Amino acid sequence: MTVDLFIPCFIDQFYPQTAFNVVKVLEKAGAKANYNPEQTCCGQPSYNSGYWDETKTLAKKFIKDFDGTRTIVSPSASCTGFVKNYYGHLFQNGDQEFDAQNQLKARLFEFSDFLVNQLKYIDFGASFPHKVCYHDACTALREYGIKSEPRLLLSKVKGLELVEMADTEICCGFGGTFSAKFHSISTAMTEQKVEQALATGAEYIISTESSCLMNIEAYIVKNNIPITPIHIADILASGW
């Protein structure tokens, strides 16, 4: 099967290798990835900042960029959750875009959810001989609804030891513009998250969300802390 690939802004701009690893993993699972280079932001930052008219413009473009019937896969539950849960608030029932977004969101899936629940493919022969902990991003857990899927995929990675940190479901402090508007509170939350990860003895913090990982990484690098954030796609593409 061929799927359309939606690569969020953070991955496109800061972690392009993660996008290539998503393609690598999808292809091993038997899915060919189609990438539309015209795609841009889904509109989540502007929506959360109150700029609904600007978001509507981006939403219309997103709907156009992913027009068709193919399944859409994205390595971000945050962006997919936003499209699925909030695009319906931007248009009136009966509008062309309202009907189009309803059709689109039914075929839009987060990466790990798609692998586990749609393709039923969980063992990629990956190898990653390290102790790791997993961060449940707020949007992934509460807006999209994934928890067991990433852990199931990680359980099949050779040599990987997953240890759960305390309060894994608590926010890392990013929250999009929250980290800019409330920098001190955000930093304290990130510090708590990193300290809880360190307490497990893990070498890596894994998540489905590059935005969370970028926030955590900034704190780690600034304070020279010996633990590394990494996206789940990069783990699944390791060792083969």
Q: How confident is the model at residue 61 (pLDDT cuts 50, 70, 90)?
A: very high
Residues 161 and 129 grouped into a single domain: yes
Residues 11 and 105 grouped into a single domain: yes
Residues 6+ apart with CB under 8 A from 15: 210, 213, 214, 231
Give the pLDDT score at 229: 97
Residue 205 CA to residue 221 CA, distance in Å, equals 14
Residues 135 and 189 grouped into a single domain: yes
Best CA proximity match to 176, nearest among 212, 147, 208: 212
What average pLDDT does the chain have? 93
Residue 86 CA to residue 100 CA, distance in Å, equals 13
Residue 9 CA to residue 13 CA, distance in Å, equals 6
Q: Comparing 193 with 235, which gets the higher pLDDT? A: 235
Give the pLDDT score at 187: 82
- Give me the domain span that covers residue 207: 123-236
210-225 pLDDT tens trace? 988 988 899 999 999 9
Sign of CA dihedral 176, 178, 180, 186: negative
Burial class (CB in 10 A: 0-12, 13-18, 19+), 235: buried
Query: How many percent of the chain have pLDDT more than 70?
Result: 96
Residues 45 and 96 grouped into a single domain: yes
Residues 78 and 103 grouped into a single domain: yes
Q: What is the mean pLDDT of residues 60-86?
A: 95
Residues 105 and 128 grouped into a single domain: no
Q: How confident is the model at residue 227 (pLDDT cuts 50, 70, 90)?
A: very high
Residues 58 and 83 grouped into a single domain: yes
Q: Which of 70, 102, 118 is the last residue of a domain?
A: 118
CB environment 87-108: b (16+ within 10 A), e (fewer)? beebbeeeeebeebbeebbeeb
Give the pLDDT score at 182: 64
Q: Which of 65, 83, 118 is the last residue of a domain?
A: 118
Q: How confident is the model at residue 189 (pLDDT cuts 50, 70, 90)?
A: confident
Q: How many domains does the structure of the chain reveal?
A: 2
Query: How many percent of the chain have pLDDT more than 90?
Result: 76
The neighbour count for residue 30, using CB atoms within 10 Å, is 9
Residues 20 and 110 grouped into a single domain: yes
Q: How confident is the model at residue 56 (pLDDT cuts 50, 70, 90)?
A: very high
Q: What is the mean pLDDT of residues 127-135?
A: 97
Residues 87 and 167 grouped into a single domain: no
Q: Which of 118, 133, 149 is the last residue of a domain?
A: 118
Residues 6 and 114 grouped into a single domain: yes
Residue 240 CA to residue 82 CA, distance in Å, equals 33
Residues 101 and 173 grouped into a single domain: no
Write the CATH number for 180. 3.40.50.11810
Residues 172 and 113 grouped into a single domain: no
Give the pLDDT score at 93: 83
Give the pLDDT score at 179: 64
- Quote the tokens at residue 180: 């800019």
